[in-house]
Amino acid sequence: MSVRRQPSSDARIPPRRWWVGGLVVIAVVVVAVVLLSGGDDDPKLTFVDGAPDKGFPLRGNLARDDAAIRKAADAWLADDAREDDDEQVLDHDDDVEMTALWAGRIGNNEVVVLAEDRHAALVTRRVDRDGAFSVHGVRPIRDAEDPRLVVFGPAILVDRRAEAAFSPAGVRPSPVAPTDGLWTTRGAYAATFEVPEGGLVIRNGLPGYGGERTAPVAVVVSDHTSVWQVDDALMTKLLPGSETFAPPAYQRLVAATAIDPGEDGREGWDRYATTPPELRLVQDQALPVLGRTMVLTAELGRNADRLRILAATGGSTVAGRDDEAESLPLGDDESGESFGGDPPFAAAVVDRATQARPYRDASVFVAGSRAIRSIEVLSGTERTVRPGPVAVVALPEASAKEPPRALGDIAIIGRTRDGTIVVPGTIAR
């Protein structure tokens, strides 16, 4: 792979004897043949400076450092070439045009963000160690000419008009701030850079078609970072300064949305989707048995064609506490599926176990979308009706003496505001 540069028109051969000049010319020709063997048939690497008409001009304080950008590109090419053929994202047999989106220095790192077709790479090197560039991550994007949003684990690149704010889920997080649109950890002594668990809320959404923007977007950062369109209720809760904002809310959000990609058939925001899937807040409040609980509805599936209830409990503002936020499995434990209807409706058996009475105080947690007006639970001869969309119903003493997996006599139905009856596909136990 060669990078062609035109020679300067001011180049001159100093006055020498003609035969010396001839030897120099011959030597140059020989070197050119060695370096560029294959001539015009060699694959060429070319660069484009950002996608300014889509909100992504080339930014960063190294934006004019062609040498650094080229070295970063060479590192990506070399790293990709080491992958198996079916894992490679670059074409090593044809010309490659890379879009340089960001190049700058953060702490002790030189950072370059490159895009090619439908992938972007985060390439870095440690300046204090005079190291070579290495690939820190490769992620799918919509298109190099229209990135819209570039999300890596250690950094997130937003468009130049994005109105964004980051909120950490941790109690004592590293400070996070943007540098020319690249959000990552900032600190004078930071040897590495990353984005800790939390959420980046983009209040004015992502660039869309015709100059319009999408609904507000949240990038939920965790081991399974995901991108969502969020409704006003959830956005308000997640923005710093709001009356309901608190780190435990982000802890519950992270726990609820940390879905294994293999479980739901998608990896974050599908790169071919026009907009991210929707995430809506059902409620976030204290419930019997469970304590503070966040309930959400989420669009899942490869085409965002399946609704699912997500839930998480716990959260703390004190470092080292045991009440960490935990996801609350709903539906079938083994498959991870919950009722995929519209509206979604799911249930799980929960209990406060003790060694003496392992199934004492068994209850059933039932949750649906905001369309669920009432919830009815039948266990044995007892019938309990609670207002929707979320309820925790204690099971009778007779049922609580049995293991939750043996509770085969539970029946649960939900009624929507228009009278439609829905049932959960399975009950997690």
Q: What is the DSSP string of 52-116?
A: GGGTB--BSTTTT-HHHHHHHHHHHHHHHHTS-GGG--S-SSS-EEEEEEEEEEETTEEEEEEEE
Residue with tokens 């009706």, as numbered in its chain: 385
The pLDDT of residue 305 is: 62
Neighbouring-strand partners of residue 281: 296
Q: What is the mean pLDDT of the chain?
A: 79
The letter for the amino acid at 122 is: L
Over range 337-364, report the average pLDDT: 65
pLDDT of residue 340: 45
CATH 3.30.160 fits 335-429, yes or no: no
Q: How far apart are CA 116 and CA 217, in angstroms?
A: 24
- The CA distance from 328 to 295, in Å, is 9
Least confident of 5-14, 73-82, 114-123, 364-373: 5-14
**Model confidence pLDDT, tens digit, residues 269-323:** 555 566 888 999 999 999 998 999 999 999 876 555 678 899 999 988 765 555 6
pLDDT reading at 116 higher than 50: yes
Query: Where exactly are the structural domains of the chain?
Result: 158-328, 335-429
Cβ–Cβ under 8 Å, residues 105 and 62: yes
**What average pLDDT does this structure show over 393-401?**
65
Lowest mean pLDDT, pick from 69-78, 154-163, 179-188? 179-188
* Range with the poorest average pLDDT among 56-70, 83-97, 190-204: 190-204
- pLDDT at position 419 is 87
Beta-bridge partners for 377? 384, 412
Residue 45, pLDDT score: 93
Query: What gap in Å lies between CA 211 and CA 406, rounded to an integer?
Result: 57
Sign of CA dihedral 362, 367, 372, 373: positive
Q: What is the pLDDT of residue 363?
A: 86
pLDDT of residue 200: 93
pLDDT band at 105 (very low <50, low <70, confident <90, very high): very high
The arithmetic mean of pLDDT across residues 201-229, rounded, is 89
